[in-house]
Structure 1
């Protein structure tokens, strides 16, 4: 197993631990996970190939789905307000 895949597995364990923390720490933890997860996906892709990179990306998206949902909602609201819908 490559170093990048080991780090990705550790990232998943840390994400699980963040989910078990009190609710007021979820968003700061999510920001930290996003900040470390994006370069980690690139590292996995570089070291293990695009298939493993896509698997790591899918794992990250499934773990951090609520921040992505909120981002999508805010972008949709912003787009609607600019187009006048």
Structure 2
């Protein structure tokens, strides 16, 4: 088994643990996971091909959809919509 898959499994476990933390304690480890994810996704795509890389990217976007929406709106300077 390759290192990228093993690190990916640890990343998933770490994100699960972070999700179980109280909201005020999720920010620092959540940002660290958010920053580490593109490197890991690129590594998976490089070692195993485009399809596994795209699947990893889809899983990442699915898990971090709300923070990514927030960052996208902030980057494009759109008005913040109320949370649903």
Normalising by the smaller structure, the TM-score range is: 0.7 to 0.9
Q: Distance in 2 between matches of 1:65 and 1:79?
A: 17
TM-score (normalised: structure 2): 0.82
TM-score, normalized by length of structure 1?
A: 0.81
Higher RCO (Cα < 8 Å, 6 or more apart) = 1
Unaligned runs of 5+ in 2: 80-84
After TM superposition, where is structure 1 displaced by more than 6 Å over at least 4 residues in a row?
Answer: none
Task: Give 1 or 2: higher helix fraction.
Answer: 1
RMSD: 1.6
**Count of residues in correspondence between the two structures:** 79
* Higher radius of gyration, 1 or 2: 1
